[in-house]
Structure formats: C-alpha cells, structure tokens
C-alpha cells in the first residue's frame, strides 16, 4: 500500500529520534565547555557573541555597547583582570 503524502513513517520517527539525540549531545558538550570557563571567560565570550549578533547601525546608542556592562561587572568583582 502506497504511503500518503504527509504520513509520518516509523523510519521518519527514528530519523528524528537520532537527530534529537545528536542535538542533545551537542548541547550538553557546549554546556560543559561553558561551565569549564571561568566567570570572566564566560562574560568575555558572552560579550563577543553579543557583538557578533548586533546590528552595526545600532552601535551609536550607548545602551547597545556591552563595554559598559563589562566595566560594571569589573566594578562588582565579577570580572577580574
């Protein structure tokens, strides 16, 4: 009997179970790598990711500049240099 378009097969389910497990493993590896960093390294990494994801035309506004957050974190003793 031919499968109907849109029908989910057991093969499809198994494919997505495997894909989901691989994603879970990769997320766990990333989580452990993040936890292995010092607080300062995590902050710097977070700021770098933030810089990469910002729209360049928004950098003129003071609130979008993460350096101020980093300086505040240093004042609070959360980042040591």
Could you give the 3-state DSSP secondary structure of residue 72?
Answer: helix
Q: What pLDDT, on a 0 to 100 scale, did the predictor assign at position 49?
A: 84
Residues in contact with 67: Cβ distance below 8 Å, sequence separation at least 6, in sequence order = none
Give residue-wise pLDDT tens across range 23-66. Answer: 999 999 999 999 999 999 999 988 888 888 766 555 555 555 67
Q: Pick the residue with more confidence: 67 or 38?
A: 38
Nearest by Cα to 42 from 78, 67, 72, 81 = 78
Kindly tell me if the per-residue pLDDT of 1 is higher than 70: no
Provide the Cα torsion 25, 27, 30, 36; round to 10°: -80
Sequence spans of domains, the chain: 10-75
């Amino acid at each position: 009997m031919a499968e109907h378009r849109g029908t989910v097969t057991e093969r499809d389910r198994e494919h997505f179970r495997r894909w989901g497990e691989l994603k879970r493993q990769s997320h766990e590896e990333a989580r452990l790598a993040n936890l292995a960093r010092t607080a300062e390294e995590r902050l710097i990494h977070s700021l770098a990711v933030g810089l990469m994801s910002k729209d360049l035309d928004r950098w003129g506004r003071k609130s979008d500049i993460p350096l101020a957050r980093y300086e505040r974190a240093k004042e609070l003793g959360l980042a040591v240099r």
